Amino acid sequence: MKIGIIANKNFSEQIDPFFRKFLEWLNRHEVDFCVEAEFAGVAGYPRGMPLPEMLEKAELLIVLGGDGTILRAARLMGKRQIPMLGIRFGRLGFLAELSGKTWEKELRDILAGKYHIDERMVLETHVNTYDETYYALNDIVLLRSPSSRLLTTEVFVDGEYMNTFRSDGIIVATPTGSTAYSLSSGGPIVTPGMNAFIINPICPHMLSNRPMVISGDCGISIRFREHSDGCVLSFDGQQDTPVEPDTLIRVRRADHKVSLVRSEHSNFFSVVRNKLNWN
């Protein structure tokens, strides 16, 4: 099995000591691997491989860094998804499977085939003023400009009028994204395997405006009508696109999914209890 290694170069100081030990471990266990060129240059590894070439050759991606790095890798892969295994380094995260401190035994089992694939829904977004398709694993977020004025958004589901929200913005999240920005905005936790979207206004002016969970088979349309300032549409909090008043944003479930490698003993509820410090 050919393994590709992607890492967050912004955390190179944390990852570097582990990275060298990790490569020694892979060589000792005769694992065939390649390292993304961008991180290889930062880490001083001489044989980096350009990402497009890596995505053609690798059968498994090991992602060093955390959830943000996994989100980046998923976006860069687009429709050609390769199973990903995350190794995290501190901070809160729900996507990375292994810890940088306790990874060896679990990785040995995974390389021996003792794992399962966890498939996650992806959002596909079209903006009528751009000739481009955007993908997001967690969420798309429409945010108001820095002014203090509330954003007024009209939301339609399968062409049927749902509601007009006056708020700081609006989140459309996948079940994966239910534990991200949507959770901090009062949204529900949705189990990853559900075919569902969460529509969640951010700090709505009316207390009666609540998050709503709808079928993932639906199409969502969002339009905002404010004429004073523009807004920003954010994809997984990593890619921002400016949008102007009367822009129509269409969101649907993408045809492809993101594949995450999980150990045989992985359990979503155990992860949630641990990350949220439930008793």
Clarify whether 67 is annotated catalytic. yes
Q: Out of 16, 32, 67, 118, pick the active-site residue.
A: 67
Q: What's the CA gap between 270 and 137, in Å, rounded? A: 21
Q: What's the CA gap between 92 and 101, in Å, rounded? A: 15
Angle at 142 between CA 250 and CA 127, to 5 degrees: 30
Backbone angles phi, psi at 47, to 5 degrees: -120, 50
Q: What's the CA gap between 89 and 37, in Å, rounded? A: 21
Q: Residue 205: what residue type?
A: H
- Smallest CA-to-CA distance from 181 within 200, 194, 163 is with 200
Q: What's the CA gap between 92 and 110, in Å, rounded? A: 23
Other CB atoms within a 10 A radius of the CB of residue 219 amount to 13
Task: Write out the catalytic residue numbers.
Answer: 67
